[in-house]
Structure 1
Amino acid sequence: MKSHLLALALSGALALTAAPYSFAANDATVQSSTDYSQFVTKRQVVDQLLNDAVTAFKSPARVSHAGFTAKMPSNMEIVTNRLLEAYQLEPYRTDLLISAANAQIYNKNADRAISLFQQALSVAPEDVDLHAYLAVWQRFKGNQAESDKHMATLAKLNPGKAADIELIFTTVDRIVATPLKEKAAKGKLDDKGAIITLGYALNPDGSMHPILVERLETTLAMAKANPDALIVLTGGVPMNHKTEGKLMADWLIEKGISKDRIIEENYATSTVDNALFSSYALALHHIKHATIISSASHVRRGQTLFEIASWQTGPQNITFDTVSYPDKPLKELTTPNDDELLGIYRDALRTYGMWSYRSYPLESR
């Protein structure tokens, strides 16, 4: 009798792995070769589904576009579907729905993400993170009344978090409304100032991409014009046993910049990491103002994340501005497009501490 009931419990999960979730076989897609019928318990099926999600998430089949440097996995539909299959077996696991929704944010499908967040909210109507996510993504979609509704509920449940989300909105609005510039404002780095240069993925042979070299040319000019400014070089994705931070430092030193001015941050693998890891160096040196150098289509995201990171580490009165390497004509970037704005909001939440993936072993900012 017991084995009969277990078979019934698993039958729904096994059905979910059939045709509706099949994927075309190609090099850019991770295929599941798992036969779920070999597993005995529901827990084992869920664990394997989550392991399959991790495999898809970590697949090397990824793309990166100049300026928008976040690695965007091409297998997010598989990640989403595996998480939803697991949720069918464990419908109390709202973490699975939150992770699936955020996979859709990475897939640039905010509408489907909102639907999944709302589904999770029907299970946990007082979940503060769900109201925060829905406030953000409804705002992104232009549904201000819906965003306001979730903000009002969030303010009742957790006033502190509501204030933080409102501050994120204010910060993003101010930064996206600030015109991009190719040259630094004079006098900003006179006292306790820093130049922060964001890395860019290295070529397969470990050499620097031309976009990164252009960022360094901008850095060199600023470093010479501001001889007392600290220089933070952040980027740690290894390629051929080399990192962006180390190569950037070597390049500047060869051009005559003193190594005593340079801080190498060789561990960041994303813009979120750039901000979180570098903020400690800014705090240690009591920096009052920092200028962020990156590609024009990337600097607004960078500034947003550095400002949010500094809320926790300080210095509390630090200010930021940006200088852009024009990977595109600045006139074309006067207003961020939807992809850029989505990346700003997504990574703002991650920097703030709301992890995108929270379903072990798929756990990641």
Structure 2
Amino acid sequence: MNKTLISLLLTGALAFGASAPAIADIEHAVQASTQYTDLVTKREVVDKLLNDAVSAFKSPARVSHAGFTAKMPSNMEIVTDRLLQAYQLEPYRTDLLISAANAQIYNKNVDRAIELFEQALSVAPDDIDLHAYLAVWQKFNGNQAESQKHRQALAKLNAGKAQDLTRIFQTIDRVVATPLKEKVDKGALGENGAIVTLGYALNPDGSMHSILIERLETTLKLAQANPKALIVLTGGVPQNHKTEGKLMADWLVAKGVSADRIIEENYATSTVGNALFSSYALARHKVQHATIISSASHVRRGQVLFEIASWQTGPSGITFDTLAYPDKPLKELKQISKGELLGIYRDALRTYGMWSYRSYPLESR
């Protein structure tokens, strides 16, 4: 028995002059005769599936490998499954397909992601973001002709975004081709220079991981070689009521670095956040050149994201380079791995402003 039938019964009762108590009796009788515990709507099912996707997305919260922050792959399969179940019920919700595709990007299954993006494009052939996603991931997969096809389509739909995408590709190609360095150069930062040190997940007790301390050792050497440089310390995932930014600042001050040189950024929870939040500090102080310090396996991603973030915030003409703490021998990292490159492409889009998950309550850049 459904609510429409209940409504019809009530209307009929009114037509025959039934009193209010009689109407109440009819509704009670109809409800009592149903065999269902709850009257579930399609909306309620979709909401439940999306809430399940959110729960899978958040648990476990994060794992980190030398600065590469990602979700557990098994969780991403659950996220994808729930989103696609919801899409079966609401086939106009193309956002569910896009979110599912990006879950597969996090799961490093680019082929599956491309299939889902193309399925979404068949529904919305002029969608600007879909052409951008497909241009990126076809390029990543080495399908240059397919990537170019989507870039051309994007140029017709939104020339400015197509130009930005080309700039992103050029930035990534240049950074990836630049050799990593671990040598500190005295005076290299000049008058309006800055050092930007990227945080690393704290231990559960709130102490700094050895990787983060090694990054700080590198920071200290560069700060001593460039005594006028500003120092931005970025990282805000709390553990035991402490954040990376604050602990890094305390460590450097204890080593003799003036607190006046230090800016703590205690809010970023990812490399994307590092770039977006820190770029405003660089803009405020009119920094002309910044050196980014992180682990060697992570620092190229940091540079790409900071460059993209600075396109919006400035300062105009700011340049970046990197200094690596060699968590791995640099010769082993000379050729970038596919996993590292995937992280760069994925987070470049996020920094540029494209949301990975756009299906409320699963919304995340």
Q: Is TM > 0.5 for Structure 1 vs Structure 2?
A: yes
Structure 2 distance, partners of 1:351, 1:189, is 25
* Equivalent residues of 2:184, 2:225 under 8 A apart: no
Q: Letter of the aligned partner of 1:303 in structure 2? A: Q
Give the match's secondary structure for 1:171. helix
Q: Letter of the aligned partner of 2:246 in structure 1? A: K
1:316 aligns with 2:316: yes
Give the match's secondary structure for 1:205. coil
Give the match's secondary structure for 2:316. coil
Give the match's secondary structure for 1:279. helix
In the TM superposition, residue 62 of structure 1 has moved relative to its aligned partner by 4.4
Q: Which runs of 5+ in 2 are unaligned?
A: 6-35
In the TM superposition, residue 74 of structure 1 has moved relative to its aligned partner by 3.7
Residue number in structure 2 paired with 1:279: 279
Percent of aligned pairs sharing the same letter: 81
* Equivalent residues of 1:49, 1:85 under 8 A apart: yes
In the TM superposition, residue 316 of structure 1 has moved relative to its aligned partner by 1.4
Residue number in structure 2 paired with 1:230: 230
Residue number in structure 2 paired with 1:107: 107
Residue number in structure 1 paired with 2:58: 58
Give the match's secondary structure for 1:75. helix
After superposition, the Cα gap between the structure-2 partners of 1:154 and 1:227, relative to the gap in structure 1 and judged at 3 Å, is same
Residue number in structure 1 paired with 2:183: 183
Give the match's secondary structure for 1:321. strand
After superposition, the Cα gap between the structure-2 partners of 1:286 and 1:173, relative to the gap in structure 1 and judged at 3 Å, is same
Q: How does 1:22-37 map to 2 (within 5 A)?
A: none
After superposition, the Cα gap between the structure-2 partners of 1:39 and 1:346, relative to the gap in structure 1 and judged at 3 Å, is farther
In the TM superposition, residue 335 of structure 1 has moved relative to its aligned partner by 1.5
Q: Deviations over 1:139-186 (max 9, x none)?
A: 000000000000000000000000000000000000000000002445
Q: Letter of the aligned partner of 2:131 in structure 1? A: H
Q: Letter of the aligned partner of 1:138 in structure 2? A: Q
| TM-score normalised according to structure 2 size | 0.89
* Equivalent residues of 2:187, 2:225 under 8 A apart: no
* Equivalent residues of 1:292, 1:323 under 8 A apart: yes
Q: Which runs of 5+ in 1 are unaligned?
A: 6-35
Residue number in structure 2 paired with 1:301: 301
In the TM superposition, residue 119 of structure 1 has moved relative to its aligned partner by 0.2
Residue number in structure 2 paired with 1:353: 353
In the TM superposition, residue 63 of structure 1 has moved relative to its aligned partner by 2.9
After superposition, the Cα gap between the structure-2 partners of 1:142 and 1:224, relative to the gap in structure 1 and judged at 3 Å, is same
Q: How does 1:1-365 map to 2 (within 5 A)?
A: 38=38, 40-60=40-60, 62-72=62-72, 74-365=74-365
Q: Letter of the aligned partner of 1:339 in structure 2? A: G
* Equivalent residues of 1:57, 1:73 under 8 A apart: no
In the TM superposition, residue 39 of structure 1 has moved relative to its aligned partner by 5.4
Post-superposition, which runs of at least 4 consecutive aligned residues in structure 1 deviate over 6 A?
Answer: 1-5
Structure of higher CA gyration radius: 2
After superposition, the Cα gap between the structure-2 partners of 1:228 and 1:74, relative to the gap in structure 1 and judged at 3 Å, is farther
RMSD, aligned α-carbons: 1.7
Q: Letter of the aligned partner of 2:191 in structure 1? A: D
In the TM superposition, residue 2 of structure 1 has moved relative to its aligned partner by 6.6
* Equivalent residues of 2:186, 2:222 under 8 A apart: no
Q: Deviations over 1:89-115 (max 9, x none)?
A: 111111000000000000000000000
* Equivalent residues of 2:62, 2:70 under 8 A apart: no
Structure 2 distance, partners of 1:348, 1:162, is 15
| TM-score normalised according to structure 1 size | 0.89
In the TM superposition, residue 60 of structure 1 has moved relative to its aligned partner by 1.8
Give the match's secondary structure for 2:358. strand
Structure 1 distance, partners of 2:332, 2:37, is 54
